[in-house]
Structure 1
């Protein structure tokens, strides 16, 4: 039987980033059920850093992660993972409080109608007010994920793919984990970084689920009758019905901002959701849609209060939750991994996260009072 200090279930950005942090001091194994790590949510991300995204409870993690993503340490990557994009939040309600939720998180810049039309040519006249969030940036998700896996391996971490966990038994001081291929592993700590499968992994380990709910999100790449839009800012409806950004000289990525309840699965786009995305895009701008170039879907998984969950289970102390990162798991990965690693290893927090209270993300908040 193989023995490790820590076994991490899930090889997406959550498992890879936390693994890279803990492997420096603990013998760590990362097990991934698929052929390659990051095949689900990580590999299907819309790939942007937006400080306001996720609300006030998530913003400290996003803000703390920014400098690492922009200028990573030399031993992690040769260059940064962010490319400037900028965002424009638009509203057609005209309400004075339309941007209140955004304003509670980040300072934005009011835009006149002329400025809005210059930033988004052809935007419909019904969008009567707008605010700019200049800090929005694209993220090189594949590069970031690969860098975390490289660092994990350099620090002695072991990755096993096609390694689905089918049983895990806690003896009071260690776990005995059995894989689908019959392999067995012993470890002191079992980390649940399984994304949409987080509650399922907990149940396999005999741990009560906490309600991590997968939600399907649709993305569509459209070819449109306008050129020169590759660097179009991210355009976001303050009412939550869409966001889109330039992807190529004549193409955009659009999402209807859907959150459709789903079981954990290999998510696929539905025709109705693609149609909804196109309809909302056509109501936003006057650009003719010429073709659907491709479409895809991914699962974003949320805890009941929509905040991430980092910490040891209160009933099974050897089980560590690192789940519920919603759609903000990529942009918060550096800070989330360092904060969770400090809790898991009982170490002083890295300066990046020293001012963030980990109690806000503890699974203890879901325990009966």
Structure 2
């Protein structure tokens, strides 16, 4: 009996969450692409558990250029990609107590200098936008351009676009082995042998493990557990409540529907790559922090979940060719801002791998701060 010939592709993307799916969509019209996903379905871990929003200042000044450049595609995508945008307007408040006024001022100064629409807000306006806010929360920065993102529909649109471009998706195909053969790779995944010119590591929390399998030095991509709750309140808090973020990073919450909010204690507990689950201590911490901000009675914890957010040591995304391992490409470390930066990262990395150079705001982003080369 003759063994079946190995599958062959130009670019093998490991991981079909938002990072891998968006890159596949950008690259598939120009190169043969295969996506392999260890789970039964794409986006099971970080992408599928995101409380995503587009918030230009979120992730800090080093991430802001990618978020800003991604806005146009998220709000007004090409007709062939989607018949409507993926953003739903909200607003955002970054808040603090009186003793945090300097931090709020610095936040406004830093992001206004980068062109972000952010203004200082008086206590009376805070009380108007957050009914029931306690008196000691007197400092705020207001961003009118914040929006929710329809993550499920965005991820599905990327997967459809990748398929239209000729990309192949294989699920239940964890990466088991990889070795250099000539000027390419021979990969074992999901019981198959695959030959590829390039391997793209878009494996999220598993990124350093994928690197090790491929003989590349891990970069220190660390997964952290993040807990999110859906609370039903005993007061009619409006669904359009702003995204409310603590300037010191202790919480954020936003309206989910009338009388309901999504809340996180902004926890970052180091974790091994896994199927993350919430812990009761973090649930209690989230509620305690919320009740220090507002006087809303809590009727029920309706849902609770956790996901993994993965960061490089400097907390900036990592994308580009590995400086030491030929044909190995990083697309990792997107933290909690991977959804809102996906259009820019995908277009910029696809251009490095053979797609046309992106035009407009995305094409103007300097990729040097995100290159793997920065780790030496």
If the TM-score is normalised by the length of the shorter chain, which range does it land in?
over 0.9
CA distance in 2, matches of 1:111, 1:22: 43
Question: Which residue in the other structure is 2:94 paired with?
Answer: 89
Offset of residue 349 of structure 1? 3.6
Are 2:150 and 1:154 equivalent residues in the alignment? no
1:117-157 residue CA offsets vs partner (Å, 9 max, x unmatched): 11000001110211211111000000000000000000000
Contact 2:117 2:145 in 1 (8 A): no
Question: Which residue in the other structure is 1:115 paired with?
Answer: 125
Provide TM-score, normalisation by structure 1: 0.97
List aligned pairs for 1:243-282, cutoff 5 A: 243-282=252-291
CA distance in 2, matches of 1:102, 1:40: 33
Equivalent of residue 286 in structure 1, options 287, 291, 295: 295
Runs of 5+ unmatched residues, structure 1: none
Equivalent of residue 136 in structure 2, options 118, 121, 126: 126
Are 2:347 and 1:338 equivalent residues in the alignment? yes
Contact 1:5 1:188 in 2 (8 A): yes
Equivalent of residue 245 in structure 2, options 236, 248, 255: 236
Are 2:227 and 1:218 equivalent residues in the alignment? yes
1:231 aligned counterpart, secondary structure: coil
CA distance in 1, matches of 2:107, 2:141: 12
Contact 1:320 1:344 in 2 (8 A): no
1:97 aligned counterpart, secondary structure: helix
Equivalent of residue 185 in structure 1, options 188, 194, 204: 194
Offset of residue 10 of structure 1? 0.1
Q: Number of aligned residue pairs: give it.
A: 366
Equivalent of residue 331 in structure 2, options 313, 322, 345: 322
Contact 1:213 1:303 in 2 (8 A): yes
Contact 1:55 1:101 in 2 (8 A): no
List aligned pairs for 1:196-215, cutoff 5 A: 196-215=205-224
TM-align CA RMSD: 1.2
Change (3 A) 1:157 1:25: same
Are 2:110 and 1:104 equivalent residues in the alignment? yes
Change (3 A) 1:96 1:124: closer
Moved more, 122-131 or 31-40: 122-131
2:79 aligned counterpart, secondary structure: coil
2:188 aligned counterpart, secondary structure: strand
2:291 aligned counterpart, secondary structure: helix
Change (3 A) 1:341 1:96: same
